[in-house]
Amino acid sequence: MLDPKVVSLAQAANFAALTTLLPDGQPQTHVMWVDADDTRVLINTELHRQKAKNVQRDPRVTVAIIAADNPYDFVEVRGRVVEIVRGEIARAHIDALALKYTGKPYGMAIQSERVILRIEPTRTVTR
């Protein structure tokens, strides 16, 4: 079960910083849209993106979710990508995220298959 504050921040239109590990071990961080269910943090991306390649090689990640109205209100979730969801579920998810963040359907060209990275927390820090 995720901490309720993680769920609350992830399900609102707040941005997250996702950190993955590059092949040489250096961290790589991207600002992302974020979501959560009751047990996992969810990040939607495309298979050809470096972050997707990184987690297939090394599933360890950190996600910091920052409240849009107060950057000092945030959570940090350290964990592992335990599942990569593909297909229509991932495609529908990016559409739902676009509506949450922009109020419009997802308008960017999709270059490769959409995927959802399901992140299981191993450590959560709330502020």
Domain boundaries, the chain: 4-126
State the pLDDT at residue 107: 83
Find residue 70's DSSP bridge partners.
Answer: 67
What are the pLDDT digits (tens) for 98-123?
999 999 989 887 788 999 999 999 99
What 56-60 contacts at long range (C-beta under 8 Å, 24+ apart), as own/partner pairs, is: 56/84, 57/23, 58/20, 58/21, 60/20, 60/21
Q: How much is the pTM?
A: 0.96
Summarize the confidence of residues 81-109 as an average pLDDT.
Answer: 94
Q: Which of these CATH numbers, 3.40.50.80, 2.30.110.10, 2.40.50.140, 1.10.1200.10, describes 4-126?
A: 2.30.110.10
What are the pLDDT digits (tens) for 38-75?
999 999 999 999 999 999 999 999 999 999 999 999 99
State the pLDDT at residue 87: 93
